[in-house]
Structure 1
Amino acid sequence: MVQRCAWVHDDSLEQQYHDTKWCRPKHDDQQLFMWLILEIMQAGLSWVTILHKQMAMQTAFDQFDYRLIAHYDENKIAELMQNAQIIRNRRKLTAMVNNAQVFLRVQQQFGSFDHYLWGLVDNQVQQNSWSTTTQVPAKSPLSERIAIQFKQLGFQFVGPTIIYSYLQAVGVINDHQQNCAFR
Structure 2
Amino acid sequence: MSACLWPGKNQLMKEYHDNEWCVPSHDDSYIFEMLILEGAQSGLSWNIVLSKREDYQRAFHNFDITYCSMLSDEKLEGIKDQYNVIKHLSKLKAVRSNAKEVIKIQSEFGSFSNFLWRYVDFKPVINHWESDGDIPAQTTLSEQISKDLKQRNFKFVGPVIIYSFMQAIGMVDDHIRTCPHHFKNR
Q: TM-score, normalised by structure 2?
A: 0.95
Listed as ranges, the gaps of 5+ residues in structure 2 are none
Instruction: Supply the distance in 1 between the matched residues of 2:125 and 2:61 (Cα, whole angstroms).
Output: 32
- The 5 Å alignment of 1:154-169 reads 154-169=153-168
Q: Match of 2:175, as an amino acid? A: H
3-state secondary structure, aligned to 2:71: coil
Counterpart of 1:15? 14
Shift of 1:85: 1.1
Q: Match of 2:125, as an amino acid? A: Q
Q: Match of 1:81, as an amino acid? A: K
Shift of 1:119: 1.0
3-state secondary structure, aligned to 1:177: coil
Counterpart of 1:119? 118
Shift of 1:11: 1.4
Counterpart of 1:95? 94
Q: Percent identity?
A: 38
User: Aligned pair 1:172/2:167, yes or no?
Assistant: no
* 1:49-74 per-position Cα deviation (integer Å, ceiling 9, x unaligned): 11111001100111111110100111
Instruction: Supply the distance in 1 between the matched residues of 2:8 and 2:26 (Cα, whole angstroms).
Output: 28
Counterpart of 1:130? 129
3-state secondary structure, aligned to 1:123: coil
Instruction: Supply the distance in 2 between the matched residues of 1:66 and 1:4 (Cα, whole angstroms).
Output: 34
User: Aligned pair 1:68/2:67, yes or no?
Assistant: yes
Counterpart of 2:54? 55
Counterpart of 1:25? 24
3-state secondary structure, aligned to 1:179: coil
* 1:137-171 per-position Cα deviation (integer Å, ceiling 9, x unaligned): 11000100100111111111100000000000000
Shift of 1:135: 1.1
Shift of 1:13: 1.2
Ranges of 4+ aligned residues in structure 1 off by more than 4 Å: none
Instruction: Supply the distance in 2 between the matched residues of 1:58 and 1:3 (Cα, whole angstroms).
Output: 32
3-state secondary structure, aligned to 2:57: helix
Q: Match of 1:165, as an amino acid? A: S
Counterpart of 1:153? 152
3-state secondary structure, aligned to 1:168: helix
Listed as ranges, the gaps of 5+ residues in structure 1 are none
What is the number of residues matched between the two proteins? Answer: 182
Instruction: Supply the distance in 2 between the matched residues of 1:99 and 1:107 (Cα, whole angstroms).
Output: 12
Instruction: Supply the distance in 2 between the matched residues of 1:181 and 1:115 (Cα, whole angstroms).
Output: 29
Shift of 1:84: 5.1
User: Aligned pair 1:44/2:69, yes or no?
Assistant: no
3-state secondary structure, aligned to 1:131: coil
Instruction: Supply the distance in 1 between the matched residues of 2:134 and 2:149 (Cα, whole angstroms).
Output: 26
